[in-house]
Structure formats: structure tokens, C-alpha cells
Amino acid sequence: MSLPPLSSLPLLLGLAACSQTAVQSADLYKIGCPAVDTAAGGGTAVNKVTVAGLKKLSQSGKLDPEPQRWVDATISLLESDDPKNPPGDAKQLIIDGCAKHGYPLQNLK
């Protein structure tokens, strides 16, 4: 499965934020995994809208414990000064979550 282009993330976030249906944990991975890959690859263009959207989903109260831990770790990585070197437990959680949902990361290993 290929990742959506980073330029499509604001659109995905807008759709997720405006949707009247329950937030699906898979939406987190569609939004977060490409952003993680960009940040870990040295990209500095991780959109503030992406982080804001992930925070909104995190605070929604609609996530199960596993996606909640994943999104919180992902937000921390995206907001860090060195996204290439997250703490080991957060790094593995992010890698496993993306892989499990069909988004293997290329830049965070």
C-alpha cells in the first residue's frame, strides 16, 4: 500500500475533523504515518495542521488505548527537535502501528 502524498494530509485532516461519524483508528495512521516518514527523513515541512489534527483526534476521547498511545507518541515525535531519534519505546510503537495498518515507514527504522 502506498502512502498518500504529504500535500493531501490537510484534506484528510479536514475530512476527519468535519466528519459526523466516529473517528476510526485507521484515520490516525493515514494522517500520521506519512508525516512521521517525512519528519524522520529530514523534512521540515511537517504541516502544523497535521499536528493540530492529530491532537484533536487524541483529545476526542473516542480512541481505544492502543491508538491513543500511538497518536500521543506520534505527536511527540512530530513536535520534537530531533524526530530521527525518538525514545526507543516510542519509536517501536510508531513503527509497529504504521506497519500493522499498512504504512511501512521508509525513514524511521
Report the C-alpha gap between 80 and 87 in whole angstroms: 11
pTM score: 0.74
Domain contains 71: yes
Q: Using one digit for the tens of pLDDT, what is the confidence trace for 45-78?
A: 666 778 888 998 899 888 999 999 999 999 999 8
Q: Is residue 76 part of a domain?
A: yes
Amino acid making up residue 68: Q
In a domain, 81, yes or no: yes
Contacts of 81 (CB under 8 A, 6+ apart): none
Phi, psi of 85 (to 5 degrees): -130, 65
- Residue 8: the pLDDT is 47
Q: Please, are residues 8 and 75 in contact by the beta-carbon 8 Å criterion?
A: no
How many distinct structural domains can be found in the chain? 1
Residue 91 domain boundaries: 6-100
In a domain, 93, yes or no: yes
Residue 106 falls within a domain, yes or no?
no
